[in-house]
Amino acid sequence: MKEECDHPTENPSPSAEATGNEPTPAAQTRLKHRQFYYVVILILAIAIVLLVTLLIDRPTDFEDYVRKSGYAGVFLTALIGCASPVWPLPGSWAAFIAAGVGLNPILLGLAAGIGEPIGESTGYMAGYGGQVAVTKVRGYARVEAWMKRHGAITLFLVCAIPNFLTKVAVVCSGALRYPYWKFFPICWAGKTVKSLFFAITGYYFFDATFDFFDRFF
């Protein structure tokens, strides 16, 4: 959606617009709000990147890692997995494995569900900050069209269903200035649904697998 004009809607003055006079108080307020909003998102993104830098110790044995780190480890794995392209284990898969080694699948789904949208805030920030490299990614134009027509539904579905367009939709949300106070809860809801599905599936999958081997081997 295009930003409103900076000049007043009542009694507009062509000469003032032409001569480039100072913006009205209302326009200055909107500009300050937008700048403050941008700074808050920037600080959040920097904090996440710093957290990734400090905690980036790539585990080699994921089963041992999630067993020792527990729910906090799944939360951090989910956060870092969405914030950093070098972290090899997505949060949902961490929940899947952790449920298989005996942790509560509901708590695991909730832990991964809150970690992932926090991590995705870096992608939102990239789009909000005007980084346009992602616009060349295949599928961006299609996702952008979906976001413009059905923003909330599109964002929820790409977060709830495992696919390769999630990051594109997240960056697109920022580029389209989709309100962060709407973005985060929708992203959280979708990620939580997906993480709960993975955790519950992992719980029953490993349980059934162990029963099978105990019975026939």
Decide if 47 is inside a domain: yes
Number of domains in the chain: 1
Percent of the chain residues past pLDDT 90, beyond the cut: 32
Decide if 101 is inside a domain: yes
Q: pLDDT tens digits, residue range 141-175?
A: 899 999 999 999 999 999 999 988 898 999 899 98
Decide if 165 is inside a domain: no
Decide if 17 is inside a domain: no
Decide if 139 is inside a domain: no
Domain that holds residue 210: 25-130+188-216
What is the residue-wise DSSP string for the chain? Answer: -PPPPSS-SSS--HHHHHHTPPPPHHHHHHHHHHHHHHHHHHHHHHHHHHHHHHH----S-HHHHHHHHHHHHHHHHHHHHHH-TT--S-HHHHHHHHHHTT--HHHHHHHHHHHHHHHHHHHHHHHHTT--GGGGSTTHHHHHHHHHHSHHHHHHHHHHS--S-HHHHHHHHHHTT--HHHHHHHHHHHHHHHHHHHHHHHHHHHHHHHHHHHHH-
Decide if 181 is inside a domain: no
Judge whether residue 87 has pLDDT over 90. no
Q: Which residue has the higher pLDDT, 198 or 137?
A: 198
Decide if 163 is inside a domain: no
Judge whether residue 185 has pLDDT over 90. yes
Decide if 141 is inside a domain: no
- Name the band, by pLDDT with cuts 50, 70 and 90, for residue 7: very low
